[in-house]
Amino acid sequence: MKKLPLHTKILIGLVLGLAFGIASIQLGWSAEFTVNYIKPIGTIFVKSLKMIAVPLILASLIIGVANIGDISKLSRMGGKTLMIFLITTVISTSIGLVLVNTFKPGKQLPLETRENLMSLYNSTAADKANVAAGIKSGTPLQPLIDIVPENIIAAATDNSAMLQVVFFAIIVGIALLQIPKKKGETVVKFFDGLNDVIIKLVEYIMIIAPYGVFALIASLIVEIAGDDPQKAWELLTALLWYSLTVIGGLFVMMLVVYPIMLKFFSKIKFLDFFKGMRPAMLLGFSTSSSSATLPVTMELVEKKLGVSEEVSSFVLPLGATINMNGTSLYQGVAAIFIAQALGLDLSIGSQIMIVLTATLAAVGSAGVPGAGMVMLVIVLESVGIPTAGIALIVAPDRILDMVRTMVNLTGDAAVAVVVAATEGELTHPKDLED
C-alpha cells in the first residue's frame, strides 16, 4: 500500500468498506461486530481530524490575517472573498430550485409512502425542530449576537461554535497588524510554529485515513440497513427522484459552475484542480464534515493548486465555516420537495424567500455531519412549510450529506483559487503527481 498515492488508498478503503457493508447485510453477519469493532477505527479517525480543527482555524486565520500586512489589503481580500461566497451560494440554491421545480420529485411520492415516512420519522423531525428552535430563539439579530463568543476558551471547546473562533481569530489578526511589529512578532511566530505542527499532525492522521474511511463506510451501510434492510431499501428507492435531484444539482456545481469560475479567473485546468483536490473530496465524502476535512483541504490547495499560504489560510478556514454551496442547494431542493409532497403551492415570492433563507441557513450550518438538516427547519418556517415534513427526507439524508459536504469543500477550494489568482498569489501548481 505504501507507494500508492493517498487518493487511491482512500478510494480502495471506500470501495472495500462498501463491499464489506453490502456483504455483511447479504450474508447476515452480525451488525454488532461491525459496530463494536470496525466503526471505532472510523470514529478515531474522525475524532483525530476534529481534534486539530480548532487550533488549526485559530492559528491559520491569525497568521493569515496578520501576514496580509495592512488593513486595506485585508478589507479588499475579505470583501472579495465574502462577495464570491455569497454569489456562489445564491447560484447553487437557485440551481437547486430550478431543478426541483422542473423535475417535481415531490409529486411522484405515492401517498402511502408519504404516510409511512411521516409516521416513521415524526420524532426525528420534532427533534430537529427543537434544536433549530434553540438556534433561532431570541431577536432577529440573534445570528449576529451568536457570532461573538462570550468566552473564547468555551467556544474553542465546541466544534459547532467554529464561527465564534473564526471571529476571535480575525480580530486578533487585525490587532496584530496594528500593534508595533516588534511586539507582534513573537505572537505571529508562535502561531506560525503551531500551524506547522498541525500540518505535521495531519500527515500522521493521513496514515490511518484509508482504514478510517473503510470503517466509516462499512458501518454506515450496516447502520442504514438497520434491522430491516428490505424496508430501508424500499424507502431509499421511494426517495430516489428526490435524491437524484439533489445529487444532480451538486454535480452541476462541481462540473459546470466551478470549472467556469476557474476558467474565467485562473489558468488552472479543471482536471488539474480536480486531481489535486481528490483526497480532500474523498475525505469530505467519507466524513461528512468540512471542518474535519479542513486540514487536508488547506494542504492540497497550497501544495497542489499553488495557492499562497496567505490566501489559503484566510479563505479556507472562513469557507469551511460559512461557505456551503452544497448545503444551500440541498436545503432549497428539500424545502420545495416537502412542499410538493404535501401538496402546497409556493408563490415566486416564497421561492425567492427560500433562496434568501437557504443562503443564510447554509452560513449558519456548522461543518459537521447533519448540520444542514437542522438548519433546514429555519428555511421551512420562513415560508410556512410544516417542519414535520422533514420526516419525508430523513432516510437518504446521511448519503446526501456525504455528497453535499464534498461540494462544500470543493467550493471553498475554487474560491481560494479565484481569490489567489486575482490577488497575484497563485503560483504554478508544484506537483500534481501526489
Which residues of this chain interact with ligand ASP, rule CB under 6 A?
288-290, 324, 327, 365, 367-372, 401, 404-405, 408
In the complex with ligand ASP, the residue whose CB is nearer, 397 or 425, is 397
Distance CA 172, CA 221 (A): 44
Q: How far is the CB of 401 from ligand ASP (least distance, A)?
A: 5
DSSP state of 108: G
Q: How far is the CB of 113 from ligand ASP (least distance, A)?
A: 24
Distance CA 288, CA 291 (A): 9
In the complex with ligand ASP, the residue whose CB is nearer, 34 or 290, is 290
- Enter the C-alpha cell of residue 257: 459552475
Distance CA 299, CA 277 (A): 10
What length does the chain have? 434
Q: How far is the CB of 402 from ligand ASP (least distance, A)?
A: 8
In the complex with ligand ASP, the residue whose CB is nearer, 212 or 367, is 367
In the complex with ligand ASP, the residue whose CB is nearer, 13 or 367, is 367
Distance CA 52, CA 45 (A): 12
In the complex with ligand ASP, the residue whose CB is nearer, 84 or 402, is 402
In the complex with ligand ASP, the residue whose CB is nearer, 24 or 365, is 365
Cα torsion angle, 248, 250, 255, 256, sign: positive
Q: How far is the CB of 328 from ligand ASP (least distance, A)?
A: 9
- Closest of 428, 306, 294, 311 to residue 76, by C-alpha: 311
Instruction: Return the residue nearest ligand ASP (CB atom).
Output: 372
Q: Any bridge partners for residue 362, and if so which?
A: none
Sequential DSSP letters for 173-190:
HHHHHHS-HHHHHHHHHH
Q: How far is the CB of 324 from ligand ASP (least distance, A)?
A: 6
Distance CA 54, CA 35 (A): 28
Q: How far is the CB of 128 from ligand ASP (least distance, A)?
A: 11
